[in-house]
Amino acid sequence: MNLIRAEVERLAARRFVQLMVVLLAFAFAVTAATTLAGSHQPSASELAQAQQEAMAERREMEVRHANCLAREQGAPPPVEDYGYLPGDCSELDPALRDRLPVTADYLNGVFTFTRQAEPLLYFLVAFLVLFGFLVGASYIGADLNSGGVVNLLLWRPRRLAVLGTKLGTLLGVTLAVSVLASVAYLVTFWIIAQVAGYPGPTDASFWTSLGAIWGRGLVLVLLATAVGFAVAAMGRHTSAALGAVAAYLVVWELGGRIVLEILQAARPDQLMLSTYVGAWLTGEMTFWDNSACIGDRHGQFGPGLAFGYCDGSYTLGWPAALAVLLLLTGGLTAAAFAVFRRRDLI
Amino acid sequence: MPSGVIEIEGLRKTFHSVRRGRRVAVDGFDLRVEAGQVHGFLGPNGSGKTTTLRALLGLVRADEGRMSVLGAAAPDQLPRVTGRVGAIVESPQFFGNFTGYRTLRLLALAGGVPVARVDEVLEEVGLGDRGHERVKGYSLGMKQRLAVASALLKRPELLILDEPANGLDPAGIREMRDLMRGLAANGVTVLLSSHILAEIQLICDHVTIISRGRRVAAGPVQEVLAGFDRAECLVRADDLVRAEELLLAAGLTVTGHGDHLVVGGVPDPVTVSRTLGEQGVWVRELTPLRPDLESVFLELTGTTPHPGVPRQPDGSTPRPDPTVIDLDDVRGVDA
């Protein structure tokens, strides 16, 4: 318990951590201020007009769908021209749309919480991932480099316990900062929407969806923190983690992707970590596999071809993404502990 | 035979590096420190001192050998006794942005030591007024004091200090000496590694000398020095030529050195003054030549500097003629 207290104090006293918290607050303040400055509370007439426009758009969609169905059943074409009607009427079915037009879509210069909470949350998660990774890497990297770990081991000569306490403390503090920051962030924008914007229709599904992104975002922050810590611990320096990430991004995500495309490898996205990060954060991601619809030299087509129509898309869900991310983080962390256990501290 | 506070037997450690290859740092080294001793641990740069201390404290994994601290096998059982051991190893580094006080406070918290003890040790090492300044503003000597303070926080029974006087000014060295003496007087066992041989001779009652990873001498300081006492005297007389003849005739060994003679095989200086005085040769100066720790150290470790001969990377210097031991190189004058 004493060690945890000391580590929390050590972490909180670090200049880099303080700087990152200030940057977080600054980014938060700038986003909130610009949102506040660029938004106004809609008047009753603006709101009424936007509601009418949204309703009219929904009605038009229903009419077009009804016309399409009527055409399928052999009815004469309508007097009014509704333009092109697709062969498959389900494409026009409003019930199958991801989302229907809502009032907020027709409010100009108005911050609408239900429309913008999601992208705002993604931005915050991205910042917190960066925060966690850098703080995690610098916390152990600077400690190993400055002799702090050696000093501590002279007091507590249990290497795994010391490293484990450091990682546990780091994850705990990062989680606390992330929860506090994200709650403060969302509450602030909710208040902005109330006083200088439009909250939008916040039903249970909205909050469930936002909560799921928030929860997955927090897990991603913790994973990034652990990866930063583990790589810096193995490399004995903060820059080891930064270098490893830069090298991975340039060599694999950029160079590897190009090479895989040249080689026409099947589903190259599946080999990229960014794919799993995206799939985890959004819950599901759909990718296109070029090779599925390309014929080989014998004229045989890939597995996507069916009934003359080629669908090369494939989907990655959050469970697979979580498994990959956990495997990577767990592997790196286990390696860091194994290396630290046997390492000569000179 | 009482159990040693520190016992090391047959310690062996080899470092492997892709760039520098294989390097034997410690090669079958033995060390024994008894309770209450102030034990000097001497060796040239790269001789294996710090590696030995790191291995003892569990920071470096030994390849072979047996070690124990306060009766606990090291490194496996170190956690059992670590609360009774204060240590600093080599030049300790601290986080520059933390104050000295915060640095010690965090260690005290981690080690379960009352935080009130921090102010006490800062006073003890002379940092009472500077404790709330950032460590990056400290001089090397102040960092050294802070390191010693961190070792003292636990009120240790055993203090292991690697070069504690490094970077200290003369006043600081004297303060450190007084501190060590005070600790020893209170029953603290001290293992002290240092390059300042005169300090070791002043502070320590026992000494172990390591060279190229091996123990080359060990025991009470006076016994180690006595092993190198050649019973020599420096003699200056009004007629040096005549004095040399008379001393040779008396069966003593004599070497001329321009304005003085070095006479060997002299158990008592009275022999010289009587031999010369009885023949009317008057002695101007008669100084017994006693080896000091520096001369013994240089001879044992093969690091005696020779004019025009560069030092080797391990600190040793090849002798101009290995069959001849130049007494001037290994002798000191006991003033």
Task: Quote the CA–CA distance of B210 and B47 in Å, as a whole number.
Answer: 6
φ/ψ of A171, rounded to 5, equals: -65, -40
Task: Quote the CA–CA distance of B225 and A149 in Å, as a whole number.
Answer: 40
Residue-level pLDDT at A294: 65
* pLDDT band for position A121 (cuts 50, 70, 90): very high
Q: Which of A14, A145, A155, A158 to mutate to test the interface with B (most CBs of B within 10 A)?
A: A155
User: Which residues of chain A neighbour B79 with C-beta distances below 8 Å?
Assistant: 156-158
Does A296 score more than 60 pLDDT? no
Contact A6 B109 (CB under 8 A): yes
Give residues with Cβ within 8 angstroms of A67, minimum separation 6: A78, A82, A85
> What is the nearest CA distance from A8 to chain B, expressed in angstroms?
10
> What is the nearest CA distance from B159 to chain A, expressed in angstroms?
12
A2: nearest CB among B60, B109, B154: B109
Q: Which of A5, A19, A154 to mutate to test the interface with B (most CBs of B within 10 A)?
A: A154
User: Which residues of chain B neighbour A154 with C-beta distances below 8 Å?
Assistant: 57, 59, 82, 87-89
Contact A154 B57 (CB under 8 A): yes
Task: Quote the CA–CA distance of B191 and B162 in Å, as a whole number.
Answer: 8
Residue-level pLDDT at A280: 96
Does A299 score more than 80 pLDDT? no
More confident residue, B289 or A311: B289
Contact B97 A15 (CB under 8 A): yes
* A339 in contact with B, Cβ within 8 Å: no
* A5 in contact with B, Cβ within 8 Å: yes
For residue B61, what are its two tokens?
Answer: 């994994």
Contact A9 B107 (CB under 8 A): no
Which whole-number Å values give the CA distances from A265 to A254, A290, A312, in the listed order?
15, 9, 13
Please choose, from the candidates B6, B49, B43, the residue with its C-alpha nearest in 3D space to the C-alpha of residue B26: B49
Task: Quickly list DSSP for A299-319.
Answer: S---TTEETTEE--EEEEEHH
User: Which residues of chain B neighbour A344 with C-beta distances below 8 Å?
Assistant: 15, 54, 59-61
The length of chain B, given as a count of residues: 335
Residue-level pLDDT at B315: 54
Q: Is B232-289 a CATH 3.30.70 domain?
A: yes
Contact B112 A2 (CB under 8 A): yes
* A302 in contact with B, Cβ within 8 Å: no
Give residues with Cβ within 8 angstroms of A331, minimum separation 6: none
Task: Quote the CA–CA distance of A54 and A105 in Å, as a whole number.
Answer: 7
B interface toward A at CB cutoff 8 Å? 15, 51, 54, 57-61, 75, 78-79, 82, 87-89, 92-98, 102, 105-107, 109-112, 150, 154
Residue-level pLDDT at B321: 43
User: Options 3.40.50.300, 3.40.50.150, 3.40.605.10, 3.90.1170.50; which CATH number does B6-226 get?
Assistant: 3.40.50.300
* pLDDT band for position A307 (cuts 50, 70, 90): low
User: Which residues of chain B neighbour A346 with C-beta distances below 8 Å?
Assistant: 51, 54, 59-60
Does A305 score more than 80 pLDDT? no
Closest A-chain CA to B14 = A344
User: Domain-by-domain residue ranges, chain B?
Assistant: 6-226, 232-289
Please choose, from the candidates A253, A224, A189, A230, the residue with its C-alpha nearest in 3D space to the C-alpha of residue A38: A189
Contact B110 A13 (CB under 8 A): no
Contact B60 A345 (CB under 8 A): yes
Closest B-chain CA to A161 = B79
The mean pLDDT value of chain A amounts to 88
Angle at B192 between CA B189 and CA B196, to 5 degrees: 145
Q: Are the C-beta atoms of B322 and B329 separated by less than 8 Å?
A: no
Task: Quote the CA–CA distance of A5 and A142 in Å, as a whole number.
Answer: 19
Question: pLDDT 10s per residue in chain B (335 long)?
Answer: 456 899 999 999 999 888 888 999 999 999 999 999 999 999 888 889 999 999 999 999 999 999 999 999 999 999 999 999 999 887 667 888 889 999 999 889 888 899 999 999 999 888 988 999 999 898 888 888 898 899 999 999 999 998 888 778 888 888 888 888 888 888 899 999 987 788 888 889 999 999 889 998 899 988 888 888 778 899 999 899 999 999 999 888 998 888 899 998 887 889 899 999 998 999 999 998 888 878 788 878 777 666 666 655 555 555 444 333 333 333 333 33
Contact B79 A156 (CB under 8 A): yes
Q: What confidence tens digit (pLDDT) does each residue in A6-42 have? A: 899 889 988 899 999 999 999 999 999 999 998 988 8
For B306, which DSSP code?
B
Closest B-chain CA to A153 = B59
Task: Quote the CA–CA distance of A54 and A115 in Å, as a whole number.
Answer: 14
Q: Which of B15, B106, B152 to mutate to test the interface with A (most CBs of A within 10 A)?
A: B106
Task: Quote the CA–CA distance of B36 and A245 in Å, as a whole number.
Answer: 53
* A341 in contact with B, Cβ within 8 Å: no
Out of A41-50, A98-107, A200-209, B117-126, pick the least confident.
A98-107
DSSP run (H or E) holding B192: strand B189-193
For residue A274, what are its two tokens?
Answer: 């960014």
Interface of A with B in 152-171 (CB under 8 A): 152-158
Percent of chain A's residues with pLDDT above 70: 93
Task: Quote the CA–CA distance of A176 and A231 in Å, as a whole number.
Answer: 23
Q: Which long-range contacts (CB under 8 A, 24 or more apart) does A291-294 make?
A: A291/A264, A291/A265, A291/A266, A291/A267, A292/A266, A294/A264
Contact B89 A150 (CB under 8 A): yes
**Per-residue buried b or exposed e for B270-307, using 16+ beta carbons within 10 Å of the residue's own CB:** ebbbebbeeeebebeebbebbbbbbbbbbbbbbbbeee
Residue-level pLDDT at A81: 63
Closest A-chain CA to B77 = A157
User: Would you tell me how many other CB atoms lie within 10 Å of the CB of residue B261?
Assistant: 21
* A151 in contact with B, Cβ within 8 Å: yes
Contact B61 A344 (CB under 8 A): yes
Looking at this predicted complex, what is its ipTM?
Answer: 0.76
Percent of chain A's residues with pLDDT above 90: 56
Q: What confidence tens digit (pLDDT) does each residue in A238-260 have? A: 999 999 999 999 999 999 999 99
